[in-house]
Amino acid sequence: MTEPLVVLKDVQKHFGDLHVLRDINLEIGKGEVVVVIGPSGSGKSTLCRAINRLETVESGTITIDGKALPEEGKALAQLRADVGMVFQSFNLFAHKTILDNVTLGPIKVRKQKKADAEKRGMELLERVGVAQQAQKFPAQLSGGQQQRVAIARSLAMDPKVMLFDEPTSALDPEMINEVLDVMVGLAKEGMTMIVVTHEMGFARKAANRVVFMADGQIVEENTPEEFFTHPKSDRAKDFLGKILTH
Ligand SMILES: Nc1ncnc2c1ncn2[C@@H]1O[C@H](COP(=O)(O)OP(=O)(O)O)[C@@H](O)[C@H]1O
Ligand SMILES: [Mg+2]
């Protein structure tokens, strides 16, 4: 593997009695694309949120580019800016234009000049194919367009790593590929990515590694080809049987 960018060591977390992250050990190299897959409730979102420190962990360590996750304050805001996150719901600001959605972070957090942020914002909107919509409001765009704006907004912060938590699962089927294509492009350009998705086409095309989670544990990890054709654990076989036949 290349130099590790995101490292989780012995990470534990409970929600009350529920042991939601069980001794998670995971290293993601610079430029690596890791797909996280597993049944609903297995802890995939909690894992993403812990990496972005939207959730605290009880023990173990999480480092990004060699730095431990700060507790709070300025350092935490800086770290969050280094970790782009795209959720299932697009979370755009409804009362701001598409371009303002993309430039807000760079202006407020990265202290960029408005003109510079807008120039870069337009380039990013161009890249994800929604530049024509720059002056519209989120509600005027389709779900697929909004999700591409959400990706552009994250990229505007120049993140070191991008987390995607089921970015296509709220989309109508005909919009899924336009979002996945943008993600495949990012992967090819060398972005470090952690992607929670059940889209096997994406995993096969773009992922270096598939991590299978069940009940808060990493049960197995492998190349996409090996994982999808020769899953080792009964949990993975059972899960793949379900998603392949439905
Ligand atoms: N804030 C919370 N408080 C209590 N339980 C939670 C909370 N968030 C998630 N959970 C529970 O933790 C488990 C893992 O959730 P999650 O990480 O969302 O799984 P996944 O993304 O794999 O579906 C689930 O059983 C869920 O109900
Ligand atoms: Mg989830």
CB 47 within 8 A of CB 37: no
C-beta 40 within 6 A of ligand 1: yes
Give the model's pLDDT for residue 39.
Answer: 96
Give the model's pLDDT for residue 70.
Answer: 74
Give the pair of three-digit tokens for residue 210: 């598939």
Give the model's pLDDT for residue 1.
Answer: 60
Give the model's pLDDT for residue 246.
Answer: 57
Select from 91, 95, 98, 90 the least CA-distant residue to 121.
Answer: 98
What is the C-alpha separation between 120 and 117, in angstroms, rounded? 5
Nearest CA to ligand 1 atom 4: 15
- Domain region containing 52: 4-244
Ligand 1: residue of 40, 46, 56 to mutate (most ligand atoms within 8 A of CB) is: 46
Select from 41, 76, 55 the least CA-distant residue to 11.
Answer: 55
CA distances from 17 to 189, 193, 237 (A): 42, 31, 28
Give the model's pLDDT for residue 244.
Answer: 74
What is the full per-residue pLDDT of the chain (246 aa) written as tens digits?
678 999 999 999 999 999 999 999 999 999 999 999 999 999 999 999 999 888 999 999 999 998 887 776 777 777 778 899 999 988 899 999 999 999 999 999 889 999 999 999 999 999 999 999 999 999 999 999 999 999 999 999 999 999 999 999 999 999 999 999 999 999 999 999 999 999 999 999 999 999 999 999 999 999 999 999 999 999 999 999 988 765
Q: Which ligand is nearest to the CA of 36?
A: 1
| 3-class state of residue 50 by DSSP | helix
What is the C-alpha separation between 206 and 106, in angstroms, rounded? 28
Query: Kind of pairing, strands 192-196 and 161-165?
Result: parallel
In one-letter notation, the amino acid at residue 30 is K
C-beta 43 within 6 A of ligand 1: yes
Query: Could you tell me the distance, in angstroms and rounded to a whole number, from the CA of residue 107 to the centre of ligand 2?
Result: 30
What is the C-alpha separation between 46 and 132, in angstroms, rounded? 35
In one-letter notation, the amino acid at residue 202 is F
For residue 165, the ligand 1 atom closest to its alpha carbon is: 21
Q: What's this model's pTM, rounded to 2 decimal places?
A: 0.95
Give the model's pLDDT for residue 80.
Answer: 79
Select from 171, 119, 173 the least CA-distant residue to 148.
Answer: 171
How many domains, the chain?
Answer: 1
C-beta 208 within 6 A of ligand 1: no
Q: DSSP string of 198-239? A: --HHHHHHH-SEEEEEETTEEEEEE-HHHHHHS--SHHHHHH
For residue 49, the ligand 1 atom closest to its alpha carbon is: 17
Give the model's pLDDT for residue 69.
Answer: 78
The single-letter DSSP state of residue 171 is S
List the CATH number of the domain containing 79.
Answer: 3.40.50.300
Give the model's pLDDT for residue 182.
Answer: 97
